[in-house]
Structure 1
Amino acid sequence: MTITDTQPASTESPAETETVNTPATPADAGADEHDGPTVVTPGTPDPTSAAQTVGELLLADPRTLVVGVNVRRDLVLGKPFLRSIADRGVREPIIARRTADGTLVVRKGKRRTVAAVEVGRDTVPVLVEPGDPDSEIEPGELDRAGKAQRVERIIDQLEENQHRAATTDADEVHAHQQLLDLGLTAGQIARRTHVPTARVKVTAAVARSELAAAVLDRYEVTLDQAAVIAEFDDHTDAGTDAVKVLTVTAAKEPAQFEHVAQKLRDERADAALLADTVRELADQGIMIVDPEQAGTARQISGLRPTAESPSGAELTGEAHRRCPGRAASVEVRRGWDREPQLRVVHWCTDPDTHQHAARWTQVTAGGASSGSPDGSSAAGMSDEDKVQRRLVIANNKAWDSATTVRRQWLRTFLARKTPPRDALVFIAVTLGRGGHDLRRAMESGHPTACEVLGHEPVGSVYTGRPHPIAEAARTASPQRATQLALAVLLGAAEDATDRQTWRSSEAGHRAYFTALREWGYPMSPVEQLVLPDPDQPGDADQNDADATGSDADEDTGDRYSDGEHGGVAPADQGTDAIRPSSGYGESTADDGSTG
């Protein structure tokens, strides 16, 4: 078959009509931006001819083709590309030239040719250009025409790849949306386009969200970030606000994106838990109290039924059921497993009016006793104390969210085949330093190390059961064994962190977070508080002092202990975290507990 140019004869001069282009051919579904030919017939066509021959299109056995010299050295025959060739064949013709003995020498389409041979295709489309194939003669032995021909071949092979623009993530999302609209499922799209199913699920999620698709199309965000944005596009005001926050973070602080996203997830989960419980309490006629705006309200844990009741007598929830001032506050806490737990705190809106008294009789300096309800709520704090309390609550919640992100990062980091360069130094220093945290992790069977490595914890080392990390190390390569040793030590350090760490870090904490930062972990603002503040001389020494505690710290902590105060709504601090005043709240509950 001969392809000819059937356009009317050109009236331009020969110099202006040096090339004739073939019509566009369908793109190979498996070919990437480096592998599509632009067919050009060299030489000057006869301007008086109405039909110009540009090549011969035929089907050929790929095993009979000879791959000529090519600027491409690395074939990059990925599995998706090979599957595409196996399933759909070579869709874009391979460009070849014929030798004097009839052999077809591939000029462009080296990857397609080799892939077709590897997957066993019987035939491939070949466009045979006029002209001789380039030879392998040394440049110094070529005449002027030979050099010109080689220059043309090299430029030809370079240009067909270098001037191509890959499809963007937004293009892919739009295309997958069209396929979804045509009735294909995500699995069918993955099979037909030879794209991993996980990626198609991500593109489909983005395609279903108009906001996420628009953000991906307009701003410089990654596909994964767009998928997270789609996760929050639930057509609510809160969801729209979250999308705005995430979009700005992706554009201005991309390293903090995962931290902000996890914080928003936790806030959304907390809000859902709170909403259900608040609704149930309201249905029972119980007023909901905001501890930050409590006014005269007091927690019943700090009250006794009446002034005549013995000092220390408890006003129970059952005894308070008939009180007109019955109220409650609801808060979400996270324990050691970071799972959200609801806590309902019972209040009386006006203890004086309803004849209640402070649980413990207070004796004044003059010897008189007082049973008036004291300031056992947030309402009894000074403005400065309230600010500090809100700060601790916000930072504690931020720490919980950061812990989730940090452990996910550890999973990815420890799954790498190659450990960081200074891994052995970290291992040697950590083992040499030893300490209680490492010993405790060893005795408990390294539960956190198992978690981040994807193993099921086996419990105490004294059970005698085979340990999955030890079993994996037996057959591991030296590099993998180093990663496993690193996982054991990082797991022990991670297990030793809690909500207290950002306020009173110890040497082991600082060494751990310094290593994570050096290895590429994007620390959140609250995690950055663990390390010394370079703008505050002696900050590290202060951290050590804080870790030991002081009388003033303990007094302040007791003042905000769990028995006296309920939680408050978290302060919205965005991506900023602030160091609290020295000695504040070393043992507070949701507003400062270790959880």
Structure 2
Amino acid sequence: MTTKTSTKKPASSQKPALPPGIPFQPPAHAVSLDPALLVRDTCNARETNPEPSAEQIASIKALGVQDAISVRPRPDGKFGVFKGWRRAQAAQEANRTAKAEGRDLQEVNAFVWEELTDQDGWTRMLSAIENMHRDPMADRDNVAALEQCLLDMPKEYLATASKALGVRRGAAAHARAAQRLDDATLRKAAGQGLDLEQMAHLEEVAKVPGAERRLLEARAKDGDSGKRGHWDQAMALLRAELAHTQKRADVLTSLKEQGVEVLRTSYSWEKDPSRPLTELITPLGNDLTAEAHRECPGHRATVDDDNEVVWHCADPGQYKHRVRPEAKEPKRKLSPEESAQRRRTIEGNRAWDAAREPRYSFITSLCRGAKIPEEARAFALRTLLELPSVYAKYAADRETVKVHGFMGKTAKESSRDCGDLLALPKAKESALLVAHVAAAYEHSMADRKCWMDLGRRRASWLLLLEQLGHTLSEVEQEAVARYRTATGNQG
């Protein structure tokens, strides 16, 4: 038997066989190129949206270009990019700002296709295939991948990974929350450009009727400024509404578990014999407490607008209770105007309470910032010199918890203890002054009905915050409206 000797070269040194009909050999290795040498190839198929996104630029600043681009040489010594032009531009932008941002200059890995120098048809086809067959991941896959990669990332690399992904602190938790949105809502949120934190916010308040619409309207008001004032105000109000609804449900559940029947709230008083226990006394003239009334067959309850239980007797006459003399005025049905005003007051009070959270957050950022704006320092100093009544009440109460909070510190057990604040660096004295005066004005606005009669002094405080960049809520806007025509924001 004759043995044939193979003439094939070892596999490691062979070039892969070309498919039929392809006249050139693709490059085997990528080379490093200076991004300054890269220009858009005339046969690059992408005509629409050829610029890199802000997210892509952030990613390449953090990690560099991970996937090699494809170029062909030009007679002028530069290289035409027909695959990866957006990545190339992002690398150019990264190098443009590298020195100012303390980063090293980057080079870009590229496949140089010498064979395509005079092959426009093939070049355009390869560029088209690059874009035509690149399907984006589903929105849910994107969110899940973000969460998992951040959870798996070693702690020492989290900062770099977050920059590369363009996400904020806490992104893994935000991604986890976003995945609880249904497919339609998640798709719409992604289409509207909501980031992970905003998606998580939407999921948090999704049970509030109209939450999605209100948040998208707030985002539209914020625009592309990068600020989130309207969004934060909308979220604060939605959280307050959600908490109110949940508390009401909890109170009603508790009453049901106690076996207490809840009266239907009605303003047709002529047909409703029930009375709150506060309007009733015993036959001997003593107060009728909830505990004393518990065994009465008419023991009932309602839940007021603040979710507090109001104990009633379903029929005081039948169960031998007396009506207090001062409560004997006949009850009447509220007029439509009175009902509307009552509802407006309830909504305004709730909105005023909700607006406090984003306002406190802004004041804290202001006081903890690198430098206090001159307008804030002057306002605080003028308050201490003029000693308006809103400050006098605060001074009498001597409460320093808010000052600690605005300075980013935790107050000690005694609210009047401020020794740790006195130990702050001299550079923080202006911030401490502003925090102190801020606490005084906020102390004076604790009453939830304050929005109905704000007064010039307190209005000037809100107008100053607005001037410094805080977005006022709707109820705050209403409260200061009549004072906007005054010259200056005098405190």
Whether contact under 8 Å (1:427, 1:485) holds in the other structure is yes
Note if 1:501 corresponds to 2:475.
Answer: no
Q: CA deviation at 1:455?
A: 1.0
Identical amino acids, percent of aligned pairs: 19
Find the residue that maps to 1:296 and give its secondary structure: coil
Paired amino acid for 1:328: A
- Residue 238 of structure 2 aligns with an amino acid whose one-letter code is L
The CA distance in 1 between the partners of 2:29 and 2:357, in whole Å, is 59
- The change in CA–CA distance for 1:96 and 1:428 in structure 2 (over 3 A counts) is farther
Partner of 2:320 in structure 1? 355
1:315 Cα offset (Å): 1.7
What are structure 2's unaligned runs of at least 5 residues? 1-12, 40-53, 82-87, 116-126, 223-228, 487-491
Label 1:268 to 1:118 Cα distance change in 2 as closer, same or farther (>3 A): closer
Q: Is the 8 A contact 1:325 1:349 kept in 2?
A: yes
> Which among 82, 92, 95 is matched to residue 68 of structure 2?
92
Q: Structure 1: how far apart are the matches of 2:315 and 2:28?
A: 93
Q: Which amino acid aligns with 1:494?
A: E
In the other structure, the counterpart of 2:8 is: none
CA-to-aligned-CA distance 1:228-247 (integer Å, 9 cap, x gap): 222234xxxxx272445435
**Structure 1's 228 and 500: CA in aligned 2 closer, same or farther, altered over 3 A?**
same
* Aligned mate of 1:485, from 433, 436, 459: 433
Aligned mate of 1:262, from 227, 232, 236: 236
RMSD: 4.9
Q: SS where residue 303 of structure 2 aligns?
A: strand
Distance in 2 (alpha carbons) for counterparts of 1:7 and 1:522: 63
Q: Is the 8 A contact 2:377 2:433 kept in 1?
A: no
One-letter amino acid of the counterpart of residue 466, structure 1: D
Q: What letter is aligned with 1:347? A: H
Residue 261 of structure 2 is aligned with which of 287, 293, 297?
A: 287
- TM-score if structure 1 supplies the norm length? 0.55
CA distance in 1, matches of 2:294, 2:191: 57
Structure 1 gaps, min length 5: 10-49, 132-159, 234-238, 334-341, 363-372, 541-595
Q: Is the 8 A contact 2:391 2:441 kept in 1?
A: yes
Q: Distance in 1 between matches of 2:348 and 2:413?
A: 31
- The match for 2:292 is 319
1:499–1:354 distance in 2 versus 1, CA, 3 Å: same
- For 1:389, the equivalent position in structure 2 comes to 342
**SS class of match (1:327):** strand
Offset at 1:516?
1.9
CA contact (8 A) 2:394 2:443 kept: yes
1:267 deviates by 2.6
Shift of the 433–292 alpha-carbon distance from structure 1 to 2, 3 Å rule, reads farther
Contact kept? 1:396, 1:499, Cα under 8 Å = yes
Among residues 150, 154, 177, which one is paired with 1:205 in the alignment? Answer: 177
Match of 1:511 in 2: 460
**1:427-506 mapped onto 2 (5 Å cutoff):** 427-438=380-391, 441=394, 444=398, 446-458=400-412, 463=417, 465-467=419-421, 470-476=422-428, 482-497=430-445, 498-506=447-455
Letter in 1 for 2:382: V
Q: Structure 1 residues 171, 203: closer, same or farther in 2, change over 3 A?
A: farther
Question: Radius of gyration: which is bigger?
Answer: 1
Name the counterpart of 2:489. Answer: none
The question of whether the paired residues in 1 share the 8 Å contact of 2:73 and 2:112 is answered with: yes
Inter-partner Cα distance in structure 1 for 2:69 and 2:196 = 32
Correspondence 1:42-121 to 2 at 5 A:
51=23, 58=29, 81=60, 84-85=63-64, 90-93=66-69, 111=91
Whether the 8 Å CA contact 2:139–2:190 is kept in 1: the answer is: no
Match of 1:246 in 2: 214
CA contact (8 A) 1:323 1:354 kept: yes
* CA distance 1:386–1:435, shift in 2 (3 Å): same
Aligned partners of 1:514 and 1:531 also within 8 Å: yes
- Deviation of 1:515 after TM superposition, in Å, equals 1.1
Structure 2: distance between partners of 1:447 and 1:414: 15
Query: Which residue number in structure 2 is paired with residue 336 of structure 1?
Result: none
Once the two structures are superposed, the pairs formed by residues 557-568 of structure 1 within 5 Å of their partners are none
Q: CA deviation at 1:276?
A: 2.8
**8 Å contact 1:411–1:453 — kept in the other structure?**
yes
Where 2:423 maps in the other structure, the secondary structure is helix
Which residue identity lines up with residue 442 of structure 2 in the other structure?
A: E
Structure 1 residue 304 and structure 2 residue 270: aligned? no
Kept in 1, the 8 Å contact 2:376–2:464? The answer is: no
Q: Is the helix fraction higher in 1 or 2? A: 2
Match of 1:533 in 2: 482
Q: Which residue of 2 aligns with 1:345?
A: 310
1:187 aligned partner: 151
How far apart are the structure 1 equivalents of 2:395 and 2:38? 57
Q: How many residues align?
A: 408
- Pick closer, same or farther for the CA change 1:530–1:200 going to 2, 3 Å: same
SS of the aligned residue for 1:91 comes to: coil
TM-score between the two structures when normalised by the length of structure 2 = 0.65
The one-letter amino acid of 2:279's match is G
CA distance in 2, matches of 1:171, 1:437: 56
Structure 2: how far apart are the matches of 1:347 and 1:90?
Answer: 71
Q: Deviations over 1:386-428 (max 9, x none)?
A: 4433332222122111212322333344444454463344334
| CA displacement, residues 445-499 of structure 1 (integer Å, 9 cap, x when unaligned) | 63223223321124768647322xx4344255xxxx5444333322321222121
Q: Secondary structure at the match of 1:466?
A: helix
Q: What code does the residue aligned with 2:357 have?
A: T
Q: CA separation of 1:283/1:240 partners in 2, compared to 1, >3 Å: closer, same or farther?
A: closer
Deviations 1:47-72, CA, capped at 9 Å, x for gaps: xxx74688x66466x7xx7776789x
